[in-house]
A and B are shown apart, each in its own frame.
Chain A
């Protein structure tokens, strides 16, 4: 369960998140929708532990454990995963090496044994074939020269291998055509389970047609201004965010 309580965040003195509270239960898929500049991506970065943001008040807990004093890698080992809006390219590091380093680092942090090479390969092959990722692609440097769709599929592959307790999808639909969106969404849906919470951040209803949320929250000016069920997303698609921007002001 992810619990965010009265979170306040500034960057270079400017307030970005202003008293945000949100709870996402195990097995729940929560969506956050909001206009540009409402602080959605900042929220995902802060939960994952990116530096440069100053948390002035509030708390973020995953299964009761306070995340704010943990490094990004410690948060990952606790079961947190972020699907990046813009996945990074890492020249010189093959995807295979990267995946192995990530898996084994998390296992080490949890006092588990490293995976044997055959076991690792078996897992990678299984997960890659489900996402239509050819193994040749995994021999190339991480995300280097990949299309937008390939990069996002690679994010979902990582998620499938790392089996997080809680995942944040930061505008997963950006840069994807319809077919790529479907493949990625199917990949995410396959990872839905009663133990795993998901926070889906998006501008558009479209993504939620593929990944059906249990709850929808509207974010504006750094806080949640309205919460509801899936119908709220449909309503937003019709009326836009204008009402909420005024409300928050």
Chain B
């Protein structure tokens, strides 16, 4: 398998041993070989400087197998009824029998992802990341959601990621969302895989010319160690509005690899991350303006209590041919405790001369004068703080065009703040 790692950690040995046990081929084999050379990323990798996965992941839990009937029964109990169109996965495997029957929804196709789906490789071309490689080597049984050109899916699609409650496992999930030319859809990803084990999931998104996707990720209970990958490519005039709400994350890295492949695309990436205790969450994005006249806005908000640790890294690449690029990136953190920490690293790589690109970062405490003003109106301190925190975080949801997704995230946020942990 080529030049192997020097002094592999237990976790790296576990993963490598599993490759050896289960011979893979094609792209999976190539990805496995890349991982075997690079290993898990650590502080020494610039892109992972603030999230030392190699140190954190001591050993790799056993690989999740396709869930059996008992596992599905356990997962089903966690499934809450909703008026959204549910597509359910358990431990990363698409489970048709737990999903809604979508065969009669016009323009929509939901099918099992093929073992060696070429779209995944094509969408992640240019992304060089060990966790994407690990995902490519191990993930199977995903789902492909395809919306035909010109189709408009009225109801919200919801990708529900459940676990089988089988103890600590390594879960690898990969799913594909394709919107044809001019198609419109709203997608919610609800992640509820429990707090155990290791997760390395990837959502691959392809937007055809003029397609529009509103996407909300609700991640309120992360695994002990979890990596979420969001890989997207946009055709010309396509619009992507992707917003995440991250909380309950013991150790989470969410990474975006997004590229504008055609002119006049619009990208909004936003998120609110609320951490408490010793939680750690890292949002890292690479946005490639690979075409002229595209617009991008990134707004990431962090609310950090106790000893929580927030990380934001945003890299925007504007090659010479991407004239008239309009980009703005903003990261703001609210520190509710003296022991909370925020690391923010914006990177702009601009090689075109006729562009408007800017970034900003700020860390602050709650404003004492605002709090006093609210208290002087009779609103008790804890409630005043909760109102200010909610207003601060909810601003990240404004980018969504679909009000229903905004309401969903706002309701999650209100629930999250209700127990007083962020005051």
Within 8 A of A (CB), among B362-406: 367-370, 372-381, 383-384, 387-388, 390-392, 394-395
Q: Do residues B378 and A90 form an inter-chain contact, with CB atoms below 8 A?
A: no
Indicate if the CB atoms of B378 and A92 lie closer than 8 Å: no
Residue of A77, A92, A109 near B394 (CB, 8 A) is A92
Chain B 393-422 near chain A by CB (<8 Å), digits 1 or 0 = 011000000000000000000000000000
- Set of chain B residues within 8 Å of A137, measured between Cβ atoms: none
Contact of B383 among A48, A105, A162 (CB under 8 A): A105
A49 touches B376 (CB 8 A): yes
How far, in angstroms, from A105 to B379 measured CA to CA in the complex? 5
Residues B373 and A105 in contact, CB atoms below 8 Å apart? no
Contact (Cβ within 8 A) A92 B372: no
Q: List, in ascending order, chain A residues with CB within 8 A of B370's CB.
A: 88, 90
A76 close to chain B: CB less than 8 A: yes
Q: A50-B372, A88-B370, A90-B370 are contacts. A106–B391 as well, Cβ < 8 Å?
A: no
The residue of chain A having its C-beta at the shortest distance from the C-beta of B386 within the complex is A101
Contact between chains at B395 and A92 (CB < 8 Å)? yes
A72 at the interface (CB under 8 A from B): yes
A71 touches B381 (CB 8 A): yes
Closest to A93 in B: B391
Determine the residue in chain A with the shortest Cβ distance to B368. Answer: A51
Name the residue of chain A whose CB is nearest to the CB of B391: A92
By the criterion CB–CB under 8 Å, are B376 and A82 in contact?
Answer: yes
A158 CA / B378 CA spacing, docked (Å): 11
A76 touches B375 (CB 8 A): yes
Query: B270: shortest Cβ distance to chain A, in Å?
Result: 14
Chain B residues whose CB sits within 8 angstroms of the CB of A72 once the complex forms:
372, 375-376
Q: Give the most central of A87, A88, A162: most B CB within 10 Å.
A: A88
Residues of B within 8 A of A244 (CB): none
A225 CB-CB contact with B under 8 Å: no
- In the bound assembly, the distance between CA atoms of A88 and B373 in angstroms comes to 7
Q: Do the beta carbons of A162 and B378 come within 8 Å of each other? A: yes
Q: B384 — which chain A residues lie within 8 A by C-beta?
A: 73
Chain B neighbourhood of A92, CB < 8 A = 388, 390-392, 394-395
Q: With A72-B372, A88-B369, A88-B370 in contact, do A158 and B377 touch (Cβ < 8 Å)?
A: yes
Q: Mark B332-376, 1 if CB is under 8 A from A, else 0.
A: 000000000000000000000000000000000001111011111
Instruction: Pick 19 A–B contacts, CB within 8 A, sort by A.
Output: A49-B372, A50-B372, A51-B372, A73-B375, A73-B379, A73-B381, A75-B376, A76-B375, A76-B378, A77-B378, A88-B373, A90-B374, A91-B391, A93-B387, A97-B387, A101-B387, A102-B379, A105-B383, A162-B377
Given A76-B376, A102-B379; 20 other pairs, CB 8 A cutoff: A49-B376, A50-B376, A71-B375, A71-B380, A72-B375, A72-B376, A73-B379, A73-B380, A73-B384, A75-B376, A76-B377, A77-B378, A88-B369, A92-B388, A93-B391, A98-B374, A98-B377, A101-B383, A103-B378, A106-B377
Binding site for B on A (CB under 8 A): 48-51, 71-73, 75-77, 81-82, 84, 87-88, 90-93, 97-98, 101-103, 105-106, 109, 141, 158, 162
